């Protein structure tokens, strides 16, 4: 069976990783974990984007050679994924021979086919975005200078006048539009598709794919005065990684990217693949952006949030949870320590943590710590409805609707809390101990399922819940039967999973 191939963007290494980077990669990891729990083979790719002027400048500011600089920052990204419980199957660097070889071959093949030709570029270049702009597209700045039209950038642009290779993007408009039509799931979320379609319908220009002024890059095959434009280079990482591991991985099932790089992934990249005669990815999904305390994160404001600072205070799982609970995937949202704390206390300490604690404490007290072999006759809980929440969450994750998945799960957790208060086994125990025991064992059964369902978002917490209720390893239950209680598990009382934050 072909592994489900998921990619994140490869990250620029001109700055230390921040919560925006963590967002894309954790999203991909949540999807990967969900599919793995269902027993499907998955291949998750991430990596670092190491060529281009931006990196050359960052290296020189750090007084290092680009390669030394790249080695250091790329390693930081790898360590970050480990610290955030992200499990990539492959990590590609654009300075690796396997990547460089693919770029060289692709460039040469496209020169050969006529999809790349030599011309002269005259226009503007944004070093920060590594993006070319025509004069018409730019904004006017002070003193007649031109500014980057990306609303999140607006930095001064460099005027570029040079010989350049061009990719014949203009010839792919019709083919792209018919692909969008025949594959309605390709552009996602659907709210972003009209923007891409309109951009293509307005007419595509050929794009410059080489630079003569950038030395830190791959030489154009046969013409070393030019280096390959960093985006042409970077996009090919998805193909290079697949070809070097297992050719049957191709095509990717989903590229998860941020909205600001959607055009590269939804227009330029599929056109490049068409030129190369390769199959297109199944889906290109654009997520929204985080601001911090209402402000865009930027070097000038110095307000980048280091994910490790957040996890140091709240734990890895609370951070992974917050990212997807707080804003729907695909929309923009705001990060603040105050909202993180609010969610932590309400959803994790109160709703989930207390429920687990109550279940384990009561099991210790009324069941002697043992999980009963069989479920009570009941049903005391609407089991079908409860199980439907897990199935709905899993289906939502497959649609990359992570917020909806957590909403379903927390509705089920809220429902369990309400049900428990209504059944009040601590009171019933005084008059009808078997009935109280039945409610508690039903609760443990439900906690086992909750422990499974939260695993993609909160792998550590999932394991701790299962450990506490004496289920060392649990598969993903899709039906009540699969979620049957294990025999003779020992329930443990323990510390709160999420101690309240003052
Ligand atoms: O674009 N909120 O790399 P990158 C949410 N090298 N997501 C954010 C964010 C924020 N504030 N800031 C960044 C590149 N991201 C290229 C990709 S792929 C062939 C080449 C996300 O390091 C952003 O949306 O600038 C993107 O998905 C990812 O971080 C990488 O950004």
How far is it, in rounded angstroms, from Cα 404 to Cα 392? 9
| Predicted pLDDT of residue 66 | 95
Percent of the chain topping pLDDT 70: 95
- With a CB cutoff of 8 Å and minimum separation 6, the contacts of 236 are 99, 102, 103, 106, 272
For ligand 1, the distance from its centroid to the CA atom of residue 12, given in whole angstroms, is 8
Write out the two tokens for 301.
């404001």
Nearest to 164 by CA among 121, 133, 124: 121
Angle at 410 between CA 408 and CA 414, to 5 degrees: 120
Angle at 61 between CA 79 and CA 20, to 5 degrees: 40
Return the ligand 1 atom nearest residue 256 CA: 27
Angle at 52 between CA 48 and CA 56, to 5 degrees: 95
DSSP lists the bridge partners of residue 334 as 291
488: pLDDT strictly greater than 60: no
479: pLDDT strictly greater than 80: no
Q: Tokens 């642009």 belong to which residue? A: 157
User: What is the tens place of the pLDDT at every residue in 112-156?
Assistant: 999 999 999 999 999 888 888 988 899 999 888 999 998 888 999
| Predicted pLDDT of residue 223 | 97
Strands 187-188 and 207-208, sheet pairing? unpaired
For ligand 1, the distance from its centroid to the CA atom of residue 130, given in whole angstroms, is 13
pTM above 0.75, yes or no: yes
Nearest CA to ligand 1 atom 10: 20
| Predicted pLDDT of residue 474 | 66
Per the CB < 8 A criterion, the answer to whether 138 and 126 are in contact is: no
**Residue 487 Cα to chain centre, angstroms:** 37
Nearest CA to ligand 1 atom 30: 11
- With a CB cutoff of 8 Å and minimum separation 6, the contacts of 365 are none
478: pLDDT strictly greater than 90: no
Nearest to 25 by CA among 94, 83, 93: 83
For ligand 1, the distance from its centroid to the CA atom of residue 262, given in whole angstroms, is 10
Least trusted range by pLDDT, from 158-172, 238-252, 423-437, 468-482: 468-482
7: pLDDT strictly greater than 80: yes
| Mean pLDDT, the chain, integer | 93
Nearest CA to ligand 1 atom 27: 258
| Domains present along the chain, CATH in parentheses | 4-288 (3.40.50.620), 337-483 (1.10.730.10)
| Predicted pLDDT of residue 497 | 96
Least trusted range by pLDDT, from 27-31, 264-268, 377-381: 377-381
How far is it, in rounded angstroms, from Cα 15 to Cα 2? 35
Q: Tokens 């793995």 belong to which residue? A: 36
User: What is the tens place of the pLDDT at every residue in 65-85?
Assistant: 999 999 999 999 999 999 999
For ligand 1, the distance from its centroid to the CA atom of residue 442, given in whole angstroms, is 44
Q: Indicate the SS3 state at residue 41.
A: coil
6, 19, 23, best to mutate for ligand 1 pocket (most atoms within 8 Å of CB): 23
| Predicted pLDDT of residue 313 | 97
- With a CB cutoff of 8 Å and minimum separation 6, the contacts of 257 are 8, 9, 24, 265, 284, 285, 286, 287
For ligand 1, the distance from its centroid to the CA atom of residue 21, given in whole angstroms, is 6
For ligand 1, the distance from its centroid to the CA atom of residue 169, given in whole angstroms, is 23
Return the ligand 1 atom nearest residue 235 CA: 19
For ligand 1, the distance from its centroid to the CA atom of residue 501, given in whole angstroms, is 31
Q: What does the DSSP 8-state code read for residue 218? A: P
How far is it, in rounded angstroms, from Cα 448 to Cα 455? 11
340: pLDDT strictly greater than 70: yes
258, 273, 285, best to mutate for ligand 1 pocket (most atoms within 8 Å of CB): 258
User: What is the tens place of the pLDDT at every residue in 284-331?
Assistant: 999 999 999 999 988 778 899 999 999 999 999 999 999 999 999 999
| Predicted pLDDT of residue 489 | 64
Tell the burial category of 247 from Cβ atoms under 10 Å away from its Cβ (0-12, 13-18, 19+): exposed
Higher pLDDT among residues 142 and 229, named by residue: 229
| Predicted pLDDT of residue 376 | 66
End-to-end CA distance of the chain: 50
Return the ligand 1 atom nearest residue 258 CA: 24
Return the ligand 1 atom nearest residue 291 CA: 11
268: pLDDT strictly greater than 90: yes
Separate counts of helices (H) and strands (E) for the chain: 19, 17
For ligand 1, the distance from its centroid to the CA atom of residue 77, given in whole angstroms, is 13
Instruction: pLDDT band for 473, please (50, 70, 90 cuts).
Output: low
Nearest CA to ligand 1 atom 24: 258
For ligand 1, the distance from its centroid to the CA atom of residue 220, given in whole angstroms, is 26
How far is it, in rounded angstroms, from Cα 255 to Cα 194? 18
Return the ligand 1 atom nearest residue 24 CA: 27
Nearest to 483 by CA among 438, 440, 442: 442
The DSSP H or E segment spanning 162 is: strand 158-167
261, 295, 298, 305, best to mutate for ligand 1 pocket (most atoms within 8 Å of CB): 261
User: What is the tens place of the pLDDT at every residue in 394-421?
Assistant: 999 999 999 999 999 999 999 999 999 9
For ligand 1, the distance from its centroid to the CA atom of residue 49, given in whole angstroms, is 11
| Predicted pLDDT of residue 373 | 61
Ligand 1 pocket residues where CB is under 6 Å: 9-12, 20-21, 23-24, 49, 234-235, 237, 257-258, 260-261, 289-290, 297
Instruction: pLDDT band for 274, please (50, 70, 90 cuts).
Output: very high
379: pLDDT strictly greater than 60: yes
For ligand 1, the distance from its centroid to the CA atom of residue 321, given in whole angstroms, is 20
| Predicted pLDDT of residue 367 | 86
For ligand 1, the distance from its centroid to the CA atom of residue 416, given in whole angstroms, is 38
Return the ligand 1 atom nearest residue 260 CA: 24
Angle at 17 between CA 15 and CA 22, to 5 degrees: 150
Over residues 210-222, mean pLDDT: 94
- With a CB cutoff of 8 Å and minimum separation 6, the contacts of 151 are none
């Amino acid at each position: 069976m072909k592994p489900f191939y998921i990619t994140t963007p490869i990250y620029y290494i001109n700055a230390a990783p921040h919560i925006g980077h963590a967002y894309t990669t954790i999203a991909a990891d949540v999807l990967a974990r969900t599919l793995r729990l269902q027993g499907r083979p998955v291949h998750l790719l991430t990596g670092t984007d190491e060529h281009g002027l931006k990196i050359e400048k960052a290296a020189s500011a750090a007084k290092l050679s680009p390669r030394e600089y790249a080695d250091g920052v790329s390693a930081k990204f790898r360590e970050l994924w480990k610290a955030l419980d992200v499990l990539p199957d492959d990590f590609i660097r654009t300075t690796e021979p396997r990547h460089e070889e693919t770029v060289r071959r692709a460039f040469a093949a496209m020169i050969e086919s006529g999809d790349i030709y030599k011309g002269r570029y005259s226009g503007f270049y944004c070093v920060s975005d590594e993006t070319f702009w025509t004069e018409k597209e730019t904004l006017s700045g002070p003193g007649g200078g031109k500014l980057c039209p990306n609303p999140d950038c607006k930095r001064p642009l460099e005027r570029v006048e040079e010989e350049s290779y061009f990719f014949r993007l203009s010839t792919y408009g019709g083919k792209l539009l018919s692909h969008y039509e025949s594959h309605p799931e390709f552009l996602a979320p659907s709210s972003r598709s009209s923007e891409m379609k309109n951009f293509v319908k307005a007419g595509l220009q050929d794009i410059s794919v080489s630079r003569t002024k950038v030395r830190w890059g791959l030489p154009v095959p046969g013409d070393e005065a030019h280096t390959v434009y960093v985006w042409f280079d970077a996009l090919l990482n998805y193909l290079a990684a697949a070809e070097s591991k297992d050719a049957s991985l191709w095509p990717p099932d989903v590229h998860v990217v941020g909205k600001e790089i959607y055009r590269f992934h939804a227009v330029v990249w599929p056109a490049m693949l068409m030129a190369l005669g390769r199959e297109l990815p199944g889906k290109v999904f654009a997520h929204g952006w985080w601001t911090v305390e209402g402000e865009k994160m930027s070097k000038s404001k110095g307000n980048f949030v280091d994910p490790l600072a957040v996890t140091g205070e709240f734990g890895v799982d609370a951070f992974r949870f917050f990212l997807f609970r707080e804003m729907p995937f695909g929309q923009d949202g705001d990060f603040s320590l105050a909202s993180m704390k609010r969610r932590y206390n309400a959803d994790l300490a109160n709703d989930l943590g207390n429920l687990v604690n109550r279940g384990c404490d009561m099991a210790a007290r009324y069941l002697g710590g043992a999980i009963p072999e069989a479920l009570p006759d009941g049903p005391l809980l609407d089991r079908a409805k409860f199980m439907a929440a897990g199935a709905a969450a899993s289906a939502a994750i497959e649609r990359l609707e992570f917020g909806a998945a957590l909403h379903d799960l927390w509705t089920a957790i809220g429902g369990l809390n309400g049900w428990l208060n209504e059944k009040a086994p601590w009171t019933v125990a005084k008059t009808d101990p078997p009935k109280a025991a039945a409610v508690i064992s039903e609760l443990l059964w439900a906690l086992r399922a909750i422990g499974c369902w939260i695993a993609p978002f909160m792998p550590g917490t999932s394991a701790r819940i299962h450990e506490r209720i004496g289920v060392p390893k649990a598969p993903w239950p899709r039906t009540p039967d699969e979620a049957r209680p294990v025999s003779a598990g020992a329930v443990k009382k323990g510390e709160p999973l999420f101690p309240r934050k003052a």
